[in-house]
Structure 1
Amino acid sequence: MKSNKILSILIAAIALIGAFLFIRIFMEDAEMIKTDAALQNKVISPMIYYSTFLLYAAVIIAVVLSLWSLIRNPQNLKKTLLGLGVLGVFLIVAYFMSDSNAVLDTQGVVLEGGEAGTTSNKWVGTGIWYSIILGGIASLFFVYDLLKGLIKS
């Protein structure tokens, strides 16, 4: 019960700080914010730093708690490592399916930085193929679950 109270106070403090920074932005003239760099740094930069801090804190807390949970439960550690291995295999398959051809715009002109053979082209293609593979597998499981539900009914 005490940890819930501490957590509620922490959440309220985070919200109040965010609200204060947000209100500071709206207290200034919108046109002045667009044109005055000093005002931007004074009003908008603290909100950006605060948001970035909260993002990093959330990621670190999520990773640490996940690792702690895995360490405390070795059976879940095996399942997680197996799942990561399977995802790694899919990533390797996607990497070999992708190409590093030139990236063209609608007129057929090679975009800046999109020349044939660049590493970024290869990894973008890998990301696209990886998404397609995982989406296809998710779709198959969705259809399987749907059919299983229809058969049981």
Structure 2
Amino acid sequence: MNSKISKILSLASGLIGLIAIYFLVRIIMEGDDAVKESLELQNSLVSPFVSFAKVVLIVTAVIAVVFSLWNLVRHPKLLKKTLISLAALAVLLMISYAMASDEATRNLSGNIIKDGEAGPTSKWVSTGIWYSMILGGIGLAFFLWDFVKSLVSTK
């Protein structure tokens, strides 16, 4: 990495750290009980800290996405692999959606729970569960394959 960019990133990280320490010291100086009891004190101490954290998170996410896209544009082979991977994930999502149930959600005694007839919402929740199970199963299979492969192969 370029030494100028490295210095700039170090300074930015240090500045973010100093600002976070400033907010933390302000909260500690007031005391935990005082902050919990006073809504006005919470708004003057905790709210700016939370806002700062949100800004840092958003800026970091935007930078990560922009540089990832920039890297994909500069390397067409990576773009092709990425598009193939996204297509595979989309196929798995369609399979999950097909396997998902849109029935009303019931409790243990078989009664429909409050707001359990959500329909499309219930279908997407079930899709998410199936999607997680499929991806977890694939990950576990690769983990076991790598484990067995490392046991068999001796260097």
Match of 2:27 in 1: 25
How many matched pairs? 152
Distance 1:5 1:85, change over 3 A: same
Distance 1:112 1:25, change over 3 A: farther
What TM-score comes out, normalization by structure 2 length? 0.90
Match of 1:123 in 2: 124
Per-residue deviation, 1:113: 2.4
Per-residue deviation, 1:100: 1.7
Match of 1:148 in 2: 149
Distance 1:80 1:25, change over 3 A: same
Unpaired runs of 5+ residues, structure 2, are none
What TM-score comes out, normalization by structure 1 length? 0.91
Distance 1:65 1:37, change over 3 A: same
Per-residue deviation, 1:10: 0.7
| Residues in 1 aligned to 2:36 and 2:55: alpha-carbon distance in whole angstroms | 24
Per-residue deviation, 1:33: 1.8
Match of 2:57 in 1: 55
- Percent of counterpart pairs with the same letter? 41
| Residues in 1 aligned to 2:61 and 2:114: alpha-carbon distance in whole angstroms | 33
Per-residue deviation, 1:110: 3.1
Which secondary structure does the structure 1 equivalent of 2:11 belong to? helix
| Residues in 1 aligned to 2:44 and 2:31: alpha-carbon distance in whole angstroms | 13
| Structure 2 counterpart of 1:123, one-letter code | W
Unpaired runs of 5+ residues, structure 1, are none
Match of 2:41 in 1: 39
Match of 2:18 in 1: 16
Match of 2:135 in 1: 134
| Residues in 2 aligned to 1:82 and 1:18: alpha-carbon distance in whole angstroms | 41
Per-residue deviation, 1:118: 2.0
Map of 1:65-84 to 2, 5 A cutoff?
65-84=67-86
Per-residue deviation, 1:13: 0.3
| Residues in 2 aligned to 1:107 and 1:147: alpha-carbon distance in whole angstroms | 44
For the aligned residues, what is the CA RMSD? Answer: 1.5
| Residues in 2 aligned to 1:9 and 1:106: alpha-carbon distance in whole angstroms | 56
